[in-house]
Amino acid sequence: MTKNEIFAKFNDLGNEKRKEMYIKNGASENTYGVLLGELRKLAKKLGKNNKLALELWNSGNTDAQWLACMMFEVEKLSLDEVRSMVSQLTYVDIIDKFISEVLCNSQYVDILMKEWANSTKDNLGRAGWKLIVHKISTGKLSDADLEDILANIETELQTANPGKQWAMNHALCQIGITYPQFTERCISIGETLGVYKNLKVAKGCTSAYAPNWIAAGIAKRKK
């Protein structure tokens, strides 16, 4: 299947309500609103194909970039390609998808994590901290590494740009959930900083306020 054939498929599968939701959440107008279930079906049919994935990605279309994240052969992406790809992103859901589906398996994780986490650009800051979240979730970081991360969070979380702030808060919560020896410390930091404490939460969703998120995460792991 070629890029043009895939876009014809997008046109048939486009969902106006989903498109409106994507755009409301920060996607560009270059969006069809294809349901993720349909994109997964396409990805399964197409398989891994780095060349086609790059063509889809470079189109700038939201649906194409979602699909590309499921098709990349990460070992074939160069460091400069990855830097260029992420630097152009503004839609946070695609940033998160690219990090979790593609970059967390890259040989460049440590380089990019350090490079992006300290960036003043919100998209890069979010990407860097999402890579830190991935590192935390492995359960293999030393106490010294975790202390360094928490020191940065205590200093920067309240004043970080929105995208980066969300990822930093995720890192705080992930430490509290994954490393029992740090649970009370992370809850205390969350209470002191108060980030997202007053954020409205939809029914059935978990609060982003760190003490609540950590408690929910621990309860889920015990099931």
Average pLDDT score over residue span 116-126: 95
Dihedrals phi, psi of 69, to nearest 5 degrees: -60, -25
Work out the pLDDT band at 147, boundaries 50, 70, 90: very high
Look at phi and psi of residue 164 and say left if phi exceeds 0, alpha if psi is from -120 to 50, else beta.
alpha
Average pLDDT score over residue span 146-167: 97
- Is the pLDDT score of 221 beyond 90? no
Work out the pLDDT band at 203, boundaries 50, 70, 90: confident
Q: What pLDDT, in 10s, does the model give residues 100-112? A: 999 998 999 999 9
Contact 160, 121 (CB under 8 A): no
Q: pTM to 2 decimals?
A: 0.92
Q: What pLDDT, in 10s, does the model give residues 15-43? A: 999 999 999 999 999 999 999 999 999 99
